[in-house]
Structure 1
Amino acid sequence: MSKVLHPNENEFLDFYQNAELLFIDFFAEWCGPCKMLAPSIDKLADEHPEATVVKIDVDATPLLAAKFNVQSIPSLFVVKKGKITNKQLGFVPYPALENMLKG
């Protein structure tokens, strides 16, 4: 079972404000690159328990996507103690996801 969380907007805001290390994947069900990235996001959550990994469906939560100025998906963010420390657009290989957490 995947450790990736699919929070609603209120739950997400709580994670954003309180998680030591948060990895966010803004995606959509119809997005091909998002589907290709999904197994790597699951692996990241499984192999990095120090990080809270969340997926945010841009169609279900457009206000959150707007707050993060998401204009392309997948859009990936790393947040440490409430501050965005890394950002990546589009499909990236698994090692790049791990490097995002370290950056």
Structure 2
Amino acid sequence: MAMEFTTANFEQEVLNSEVPVLVDFWATWCMPCKMLAPVIEELAEEANGAYKVGKVDVDASPSIAAQFGIMNIPTVLLFKNGQVAGKSVGAVPKEKLQDLLR
């Protein structure tokens, strides 16, 4: 299951993570976000400790979205060593996010 990242745990779980972290920026009212949700959950289930997968609700944690310049949702960012290492915008196929993780 994908983790829920908030202002309280973002630094610890994402920026200080020893493994890559795929972060889905989303909102409850966003239809493309709902379309992407099952893909995010599949990737979370397949991680097996090789990477983390989580979500940031842009309405609940707007400061995180602002910090990374999120203008459109869904936006998925890949973090490695506390830095953004990849980006995908929109409801994309699972293969595109798997490519991001490689």
TM value normalised by structure 1:
0.92
- Matching residue of 1:101: 101
Secondary structure in structure 2 of the residue aligned to 1:85:
strand
Q: C-alpha offsets along residues 23-66 of structure 1, whole Å, 9 cap, x if unaligned?
A: 00000000000000000000001112211111000000111100
Secondary structure in structure 1 of the residue aligned to 2:23:
strand
Matched, 1:72 2:72: yes
In structure 2, what is the Cα distance between the partners aligned to 1:17 and 1:71? 20
Q: What does residue range 21-100 of structure 1 map to in structure 2 within 5 Å?
A: 21-49=20-48, 50-100=50-100
Using the aligned pairs only, state the percent identity: 38
In structure 2, what is the Cα distance between the partners aligned to 1:21 and 1:42? 16
Q: Please state how far the C-alpha of 1:18 moved relative to its aligned partner.
A: 1.9
Instruction: Could you tell me which runs of 5 or more consecutive residues in structure 1 were left unpaired when the two chains were aligned.
Output: none
Q: C-alpha offsets along residues 60-96 of structure 1, whole Å, 9 cap, x if unaligned?
A: 0111100010000001100111111100111100111
Paired amino acid for 1:16:
V
TM value normalised by structure 2:
0.93
Moved >3 Å (runs of 4+): none
Write 1 or 2 for the structure with the bigger share of helix. Answer: 1
- Matching residue of 1:5: 3
Secondary structure in structure 1 of the residue aligned to 2:59:
coil
In structure 2, what is the Cα distance between the partners aligned to 1:24 and 1:90? 13
Q: Please state how far the C-alpha of 1:11 moved relative to its aligned partner.
A: 0.5
Q: Please state how far the C-alpha of 1:15 moved relative to its aligned partner.
A: 1.6
Question: In angstroms, what is the RMSD of aligned CA positions?
Answer: 0.9
